[in-house]
Structure 1
Amino acid sequence: MSQVYPLAPLTSTGHWSFVALLAILIGLGVFIYCKNMPKVSKAVSIGVLLPMVLAFSWMFYKVNDSKLVISADSLTLDVPFYGFSIPLTEIDLDDIIRVDWGKSPELKPNLRANGIGMPGFQLGWFRLANEQKAFVATTNTDNIVSIPTKRNYPLILSLQNPETLTRNAL
């Protein structure tokens, strides 16, 4: 039997970040379309921009449906573009903690290595303030948990109900 832990949905800051990003990309597309330039250049520019608009639109839609699924033998993170599974044997079950970045600033994402970072939303691989690599999926700063792995990186996640993710639940 699997247990599902929904990740926290976007806050208003995250929503407005996505809306602003999509508005900028669409505005750029309109500008390119209206600009007097060679047809090949225009087609290539729109051809590069259109997949970006579609990808960020899909992510905006999908991010509020992200979840952590724990089954009998694996932990699966269902997030846009970066979803993956880890065997439960590679999770340090005893060391799962709630994170308060005010009290544990070393666990705060510092440098994005491969991911998306905007106000109200961070997803992907980051370097933490303590220089450790981590997979981060956060939408707020209130309900953060750190799930250490035996692969030498933690999962830093914002959950809707972090208190339900305990050693007993696993």
Structure 2
Amino acid sequence: MDVIALTPLDSGAINSVIAVLLGLLALTVFIFVKPIPSNAKYLTLGIMLPLMALFVFILYQSFSSNISWDNKLLRVNIPLYSNEIDTDLVDFAQARVVNLIKEPEYAAKWRTNGLGLPGYSLGWFSLNNGVKALLSVTESEGVILLPISHDRVILFSVIDADEALAKLHASAQSKQPID
């Protein structure tokens, strides 16, 4: 089984997640201090605690994100959007490194389902070129583009783009390209 570790969050993205958590905590405290019915206070607590837990989970899980594959399945292990894809659908030969600043057609245009924070894009996005993409991007350079069908790709930031690309291309030798 081949594994590629994804780039962990940098300090800017961590600060963004912490700012969201602090904002949710401040809002919860404000609602509890404000004179409103107790049912509303507990409803707020029932909404805010799971939401804060979700952001803590995203922060924690982002440090162990990876892409792994064998002969049958490609496993995308990212927070909230882990996925398994049949390797017959993956075009390892067309994988390449992109720079989202120099190649804006691969930059995210619309978030269809995901999280977009400064320094961290996670989830399903529509790209500027109209392709749908599963993103786990923490920086603009050294992003791997991996086609998973004729109209879908995975974009993910990696620690060593050249090494990751070599692993992906090595897997392509036994596969046929997607038509």
Into which bin does the TM-score normalised by the smaller protein fall? over 0.9
1:66 aligns with 2:70: no
Q: Which runs of 5+ in 1 are unaligned?
A: none
CA distance in 1, matches of 2:171, 2:160: 13
CA distance in 1, matches of 2:93, 2:70: 17
Q: Is the 8 A contact 2:101 2:140 kept in 1?
A: no
The number of equivalent residue pairs is 169
CA distance in 2, matches of 1:9, 1:64: 5
* TM value normalised by structure 1: 0.95
Q: Is the 8 A contact 1:123 1:138 kept in 2?
A: yes
1:94 aligns with 2:93: yes
> What SS does the corresponding residue of 2:67 show, helix, strand or coil?
strand
Q: Is the 8 A contact 1:74 1:87 kept in 2?
A: yes
Q: Is the 8 A contact 1:90 1:151 kept in 2?
A: no
1:106, distance to aligned residue in structure 2 (A): 0.3
Q: Which amino acid aligns with 1:109?
A: A
1:151, distance to aligned residue in structure 2 (A): 5.4
Partner of 2:32 in structure 1?
Answer: 33
Partner of 2:82 in structure 1?
Answer: 83
Q: Is the 8 A contact 2:5 2:67 kept in 1?
A: yes
CA distance in 1, matches of 2:101, 2:31: 44
> What SS does the corresponding residue of 1:168 show, helix, strand or coil?
helix
Q: Which amino acid aligns with 1:131?
A: G
Q: Which amino acid aligns with 1:88?
A: T
Identity within the alignment, %: 28
Q: Which amino acid aligns with 2:94?
A: D
* TM value normalised by structure 2: 0.90
Q: Which runs of 5+ in 2 are unaligned?
A: 173-179
Partner of 1:155 in structure 2?
Answer: 154
1:169, distance to aligned residue in structure 2 (A): 4.8
CA distance in 1, matches of 2:14, 2:79: 16
Moved more, 105-114 or 69-78: 69-78
Partner of 1:145 in structure 2?
Answer: 144
1:68, distance to aligned residue in structure 2 (A): 0.5
Partner of 1:125 in structure 2?
Answer: 124
CA distance in 1, matches of 2:152, 2:51: 29
CA distance in 1, matches of 2:61, 2:91: 28
Partner of 1:4 in structure 2?
Answer: 3
1:168 aligns with 2:170: yes
Partner of 1:23 in structure 2?
Answer: 22
CA RMSD in angstroms comes to 1.2
1:47 aligns with 2:49: no
Q: Which amino acid aligns with 1:168?
A: A
